Every structure is written in C-alpha cells, then in structure tokens.
Amino acid sequence: MYWSLFVVAFLAATLLPAQSEILVVTAQQMGYNVWLIWLTASLGNTLGSVVNYGLGRFLLHYQDHRWFPFKEKSLTRGHWWFERYGKWSLLLAWAPFIGDTLTFIAGMLRLSFWQFLLIVWISKAGRYALLLGALSVAL
C-alpha cells in the first residue's frame, strides 16, 4: 500500500492526473500507520514537484512545442503569483491547477533548489497533515 501511495502522490504532483487524497483516506480507514501514510504521501508529492522544477529549469526552451506541458496562459498566471508573492507563493504548491505551474516557474526563475524543496515540503506535508488530522477527528 505504501509503495502505491508514493507513486500516486508522485504522479499527482506532476502533470499526470492522479488523486492522492483518495488513497490517503483509504489507507487511513484501512488502519495503516498514519505517520507512514503522511511521510510516504509527502515524500512522493514533494518529489513529483521536483520534476516540475527540473522541467522549468532545464526544458523551458521547448515551450513553443505543442507537447510542452504548460500553456502560455498558465505560465502567465503562475508568473504573476511569483512576482507578487515571491518564493512564498510555493506554499500553494499543493493547490490544484496553480500548484504545478508554480513549481515549474520556480525552476524557470532558478529559485534556489534548497529553498524550493523546503517550502514545497512544508506545503505538501502540511496539506497531508491537515487531511489526516481532519480524518482522525471525524473518525
């Protein structure tokens, strides 16, 4: 179960469609260790964002190709967030639609990798902690 959770959380942070929250909830309801669920999902999701960072840092010169994963509108919106809030906009890395773009733009703008990693970890791990905490209270 943990390996599946890691893979789904990883994919959910990239451009591939995946919903890690469903598997997190399922794992908790099945009685798996909450701390290992949190750690596994957080690691997978953070490492998936590292892929986006790498794409932004090293593959931006392909942005005019049809297959390029981010459209101009998405990049413009993400760039606006980054200009307005700086690296702290990465605290929204967990958010649907904008989170992937923000992690890509962080790479594009060559934000320090270690700063990127720390802020994205806080964002992703915090989201899973809140989800698991809310489930624990509800159950």
Q: What is the pLDDT of residues 75-111, one digit of tens each?
A: 777 778 778 888 999 999 998 878 888 898 899 889 9
Q: What does the alpha-carbon distance between residue 113 and residue 106 come to, in Å, rounded to a whole number?
A: 9
87 touches 106 (CB < 8 A) = yes
pTM (predicted TM-score): 0.86
Amino acid at 53: Y
Q: What does the alpha-carbon distance between residue 78 and residue 19 come to, in Å, rounded to a whole number?
A: 22
